[in-house]
Amino acid sequence: MSNAHAESRVVGILGGMGPAATVDFYDKLIKATPATKDQDHLRVVIWADPTVPDRTKALRSGGLDPTPWLDRGVENLVASGAEILVVPCNTIHAYLPAVVRDKNIHFISIIDAAVQQAQQAASAGKVGLLATQATLESGVYQEALGERGFETVVPSRRIQSRLMQVIYQVKAGDTGEAVRNVTASILDDLAAQGVTAVIAACTEISVLVSDLTASIPVIDPSHALALRTVAAAREPADSFERVHMKPN
Protein backbone atom coordinates (compact mmCIF):
# COMPACT_ATOMS: atom_id res chain seq x y z
CA MET A 1 0.00 0.00 0.00
CA SER A 2 1.35 3.47 -0.85
CA ASN A 3 2.36 5.86 1.89
CA ALA A 4 0.25 9.00 1.26
CA HIS A 5 2.16 10.91 3.95
CA ALA A 6 5.52 10.40 2.24
CA GLU A 7 4.13 11.13 -1.23
CA SER A 8 2.26 14.34 -0.46
CA ARG A 9 3.67 17.70 -1.42
CA VAL A 10 4.56 19.94 1.54
CA VAL A 11 1.92 22.62 2.05
CA GLY A 12 2.97 26.04 3.33
CA ILE A 13 0.26 28.10 5.03
CA LEU A 14 0.99 31.82 5.26
CA GLY A 15 -1.28 32.75 8.14
CA GLY A 16 -1.84 35.01 11.10
CA MET A 17 -4.22 37.25 9.10
CA GLY A 18 -5.99 36.71 11.43
CA PRO A 19 -5.03 33.88 13.78
CA ALA A 20 -8.56 32.44 14.10
CA ALA A 21 -8.88 32.26 10.32
CA THR A 22 -5.60 30.33 10.15
CA VAL A 23 -6.79 27.80 12.72
CA ASP A 24 -10.12 27.51 10.89
CA PHE A 25 -8.37 26.83 7.57
CA TYR A 26 -6.05 24.18 9.00
CA ASP A 27 -9.04 22.44 10.57
CA LYS A 28 -10.79 22.45 7.19
CA LEU A 29 -7.64 21.16 5.48
CA ILE A 30 -7.51 18.22 7.90
CA LYS A 31 -11.21 17.45 7.40
CA ALA A 32 -10.88 17.68 3.61
CA THR A 33 -8.08 15.10 3.55
CA PRO A 34 -9.16 11.48 2.95
CA ALA A 35 -7.41 9.82 5.88
CA THR A 36 -7.85 6.83 8.15
CA LYS A 37 -4.66 7.34 10.18
CA ASP A 38 -2.17 10.07 11.01
CA GLN A 39 0.18 9.08 8.22
CA ASP A 40 -2.47 9.77 5.55
CA HIS A 41 -2.54 13.49 6.32
CA LEU A 42 -0.58 16.16 4.49
CA ARG A 43 2.76 17.53 5.57
CA VAL A 44 2.16 21.16 6.52
CA VAL A 45 4.30 24.12 7.54
CA ILE A 46 2.53 27.13 9.05
CA TRP A 47 4.03 30.61 9.24
CA ALA A 48 1.51 32.63 11.27
CA ASP A 49 2.56 36.25 11.59
CA PRO A 50 -0.11 38.43 13.24
CA THR A 51 2.20 41.47 12.97
CA VAL A 52 1.41 41.83 9.25
CA PRO A 53 -0.02 45.37 8.99
CA ASP A 54 -3.78 45.83 8.66
CA ARG A 55 -4.66 44.99 5.06
CA THR A 56 -7.72 47.21 4.91
CA LYS A 57 -5.79 50.25 6.14
CA ALA A 58 -2.96 49.52 3.70
CA LEU A 59 -5.30 49.41 0.72
CA ARG A 60 -7.68 52.20 1.73
CA SER A 61 -5.88 54.81 3.79
CA GLY A 62 -2.14 54.68 3.22
CA GLY A 63 -1.32 52.24 6.00
CA LEU A 64 1.91 50.27 6.12
CA ASP A 65 2.59 48.14 3.03
CA PRO A 66 2.42 44.47 4.14
CA THR A 67 4.66 43.27 1.29
CA PRO A 68 7.90 42.97 3.36
CA TRP A 69 6.08 40.80 5.92
CA LEU A 70 4.65 38.62 3.14
CA ASP A 71 8.05 38.26 1.48
CA ARG A 72 9.61 37.15 4.75
CA GLY A 73 6.81 34.68 5.42
CA VAL A 74 6.99 33.06 1.99
CA GLU A 75 10.78 32.85 2.16
CA ASN A 76 10.55 31.09 5.54
CA LEU A 77 8.01 28.62 4.18
CA VAL A 78 10.17 27.87 1.11
CA ALA A 79 13.22 27.42 3.35
CA SER A 80 11.18 24.95 5.42
CA GLY A 81 10.49 22.82 2.36
CA ALA A 82 7.05 24.06 1.31
CA GLU A 83 6.16 23.31 -2.31
CA ILE A 84 2.60 24.67 -2.24
CA LEU A 85 1.63 28.09 -0.87
CA VAL A 86 -1.84 28.92 0.41
CA VAL A 87 -2.97 32.05 2.22
CA PRO A 88 -6.29 31.93 4.12
CA CYS A 89 -6.87 35.68 3.88
CA ASN A 90 -8.87 37.18 1.03
CA THR A 91 -7.85 40.85 1.29
CA ILE A 92 -4.12 40.10 1.16
CA HIS A 93 -4.54 38.51 -2.28
CA ALA A 94 -4.33 42.00 -3.75
CA TYR A 95 -0.61 41.87 -2.87
CA LEU A 96 0.25 38.23 -3.50
CA PRO A 97 0.80 38.07 -7.29
CA ALA A 98 3.83 40.37 -6.97
CA VAL A 99 5.09 38.55 -3.86
CA VAL A 100 5.05 35.05 -5.37
CA ARG A 101 6.25 36.01 -8.84
CA ASP A 102 9.91 35.15 -8.18
CA LYS A 103 9.36 32.44 -5.56
CA ASN A 104 9.98 28.75 -6.28
CA ILE A 105 6.61 27.62 -4.97
CA HIS A 106 3.19 26.77 -6.41
CA PHE A 107 0.62 29.34 -5.29
CA ILE A 108 -3.05 28.35 -5.03
CA SER A 109 -5.35 31.39 -4.98
CA ILE A 110 -8.29 31.42 -2.59
CA ILE A 111 -10.02 33.73 -5.10
CA ASP A 112 -9.83 31.18 -7.93
CA ALA A 113 -10.91 28.33 -5.64
CA ALA A 114 -13.97 30.20 -4.38
CA VAL A 115 -15.08 31.50 -7.77
CA GLN A 116 -14.86 28.01 -9.25
CA GLN A 117 -17.21 26.73 -6.55
CA ALA A 118 -19.56 29.67 -7.07
CA GLN A 119 -19.70 28.85 -10.76
CA GLN A 120 -20.88 25.35 -9.88
CA ALA A 121 -23.40 26.51 -7.24
CA ALA A 122 -25.04 29.57 -8.84
CA SER A 123 -28.19 28.88 -10.83
CA ALA A 124 -28.34 32.34 -12.40
CA GLY A 125 -26.09 35.25 -13.31
CA LYS A 126 -25.89 37.04 -9.94
CA VAL A 127 -23.41 36.12 -7.19
CA GLY A 128 -23.39 37.92 -3.86
CA LEU A 129 -20.11 38.97 -2.29
CA LEU A 130 -19.41 39.46 1.43
CA ALA A 131 -15.94 40.93 1.93
CA THR A 132 -13.97 43.65 3.64
CA GLN A 133 -14.29 47.10 2.11
CA ALA A 134 -10.69 46.82 0.94
CA THR A 135 -11.35 43.52 -0.85
CA LEU A 136 -14.39 45.02 -2.54
CA GLU A 137 -12.41 48.04 -3.68
CA SER A 138 -9.52 45.91 -4.94
CA GLY A 139 -11.94 44.26 -7.40
CA VAL A 140 -10.21 40.87 -7.30
CA TYR A 141 -13.43 38.91 -6.89
CA GLN A 142 -15.49 41.08 -9.24
CA GLU A 143 -12.89 40.61 -11.98
CA ALA A 144 -12.74 36.84 -11.50
CA LEU A 145 -16.54 36.52 -11.45
CA GLY A 146 -16.92 38.80 -14.46
CA GLU A 147 -14.52 36.66 -16.47
CA ARG A 148 -16.94 33.76 -15.88
CA GLY A 149 -20.01 35.77 -16.89
CA PHE A 150 -21.40 36.60 -13.43
CA GLU A 151 -22.69 39.91 -12.10
CA THR A 152 -21.41 40.67 -8.60
CA VAL A 153 -23.91 41.97 -6.05
CA VAL A 154 -22.48 43.65 -2.93
CA PRO A 155 -24.20 44.96 0.23
CA SER A 156 -25.46 48.53 0.46
CA ARG A 157 -23.22 51.04 2.21
CA ARG A 158 -25.24 50.73 5.44
CA ILE A 159 -25.13 46.92 5.44
CA GLN A 160 -21.45 46.90 4.50
CA SER A 161 -20.77 49.02 7.58
CA ARG A 162 -22.53 46.38 9.71
CA LEU A 163 -20.51 43.64 8.04
CA MET A 164 -17.23 45.37 8.85
CA GLN A 165 -18.31 45.54 12.49
CA VAL A 166 -18.94 41.78 12.41
CA ILE A 167 -15.51 41.13 10.89
CA TYR A 168 -13.71 43.07 13.62
CA GLN A 169 -15.84 41.41 16.30
CA VAL A 170 -14.71 37.99 15.04
CA LYS A 171 -11.10 39.18 15.03
CA ALA A 172 -11.63 40.08 18.69
CA GLY A 173 -12.92 36.57 19.43
CA ASP A 174 -16.67 37.21 19.35
CA THR A 175 -18.50 34.53 17.36
CA GLY A 176 -21.65 34.56 19.46
CA GLU A 177 -25.32 34.44 18.53
CA ALA A 178 -25.70 38.18 17.95
CA VAL A 179 -22.84 38.22 15.45
CA ARG A 180 -24.26 35.21 13.64
CA ASN A 181 -27.74 36.75 13.51
CA VAL A 182 -26.39 39.90 11.86
CA THR A 183 -24.55 37.78 9.30
CA ALA A 184 -27.69 35.76 8.57
CA SER A 185 -29.71 38.95 8.02
CA ILE A 186 -27.10 40.20 5.54
CA LEU A 187 -27.37 36.95 3.60
CA ASP A 188 -31.17 37.31 3.53
CA ASP A 189 -30.79 40.82 2.12
CA LEU A 190 -28.62 39.56 -0.74
CA ALA A 191 -31.05 36.74 -1.48
CA ALA A 192 -33.83 39.32 -1.78
CA GLN A 193 -31.79 41.01 -4.52
CA GLY A 194 -31.92 37.90 -6.69
CA VAL A 195 -28.51 36.33 -6.05
CA THR A 196 -28.41 32.53 -6.19
CA ALA A 197 -25.09 32.01 -4.40
CA VAL A 198 -22.95 34.08 -2.06
CA ILE A 199 -19.18 34.06 -1.59
CA ALA A 200 -18.21 34.71 2.05
CA ALA A 201 -15.00 36.36 0.87
CA CYS A 202 -13.55 37.18 4.26
CA THR A 203 -11.96 34.50 6.39
CA GLU A 204 -13.59 35.90 9.54
CA ILE A 205 -16.99 35.39 7.89
CA SER A 206 -15.86 31.89 6.90
CA VAL A 207 -15.49 31.12 10.60
CA LEU A 208 -19.23 31.83 11.01
CA VAL A 209 -20.91 30.38 7.92
CA SER A 210 -20.64 26.71 8.84
CA ASP A 211 -23.21 27.20 11.62
CA LEU A 212 -25.60 29.44 9.67
CA THR A 213 -28.80 28.37 7.95
CA ALA A 214 -29.11 30.31 4.69
CA SER A 215 -31.76 30.28 1.97
CA ILE A 216 -29.07 30.26 -0.76
CA PRO A 217 -25.73 28.44 -1.11
CA VAL A 218 -22.88 30.17 0.70
CA ILE A 219 -19.42 29.52 -0.68
CA ASP A 220 -16.75 29.29 2.00
CA PRO A 221 -13.46 30.25 0.28
CA SER A 222 -11.43 28.60 3.04
CA HIS A 223 -13.18 25.28 2.43
CA ALA A 224 -12.81 25.67 -1.35
CA LEU A 225 -9.11 26.39 -0.85
CA ALA A 226 -8.72 23.35 1.40
CA LEU A 227 -10.21 21.06 -1.26
CA ARG A 228 -7.96 22.51 -3.98
CA THR A 229 -4.91 22.21 -1.71
CA VAL A 230 -5.53 18.55 -0.90
CA ALA A 231 -5.89 17.73 -4.60
CA ALA A 232 -2.61 19.48 -5.49
CA ALA A 233 -0.67 18.05 -2.55
CA ARG A 234 -1.67 14.49 -3.41
CA GLU A 235 -0.73 14.71 -7.09
CA PRO A 236 2.00 12.24 -8.17
CA ALA A 237 5.43 13.85 -7.87
CA ASP A 238 6.27 13.76 -11.57
CA SER A 239 2.96 15.33 -12.59
CA PHE A 240 3.14 18.01 -9.91
CA GLU A 241 6.69 19.06 -10.68
CA ARG A 242 6.05 19.18 -14.43
CA VAL A 243 2.89 21.29 -14.16
CA HIS A 244 3.39 23.45 -11.09
CA MET A 245 6.97 24.01 -10.02
CA LYS A 246 9.05 26.85 -11.43
CA PRO A 247 12.69 26.31 -12.38
CA ASN A 248 15.27 27.68 -9.99
Peptide bond into 81 cis (omega under 30): no
Whether 89 is a known active-site residue: answer yes
Q: Is 237 buried (19+), middle (13-18) or exposed (0-12) by CB count in 10 A?
A: exposed
* Other residues' Cβ atoms within 10 Å of the Cβ of residue 90: 32
CA distance 125 to 156: 19
CA distance 95 to 73: 13
Check 21, 58, 86, 89 and give the catalytic one.
89
Polymer length in residues for the chain: 248
State the DSSP string of 98-164. Answer: HHHTTSSSEE--HHHHHHHHHHHH-SSSEEEEE--HHHHHHTHHHHHHHHTT-EEE---HHHHHHHH
Three-state secondary-structure class, residue 21: helix
- Phi, psi dihedral angles at 201 (to 5 degrees): -85, 45
Residues forming the active site = 89, 202
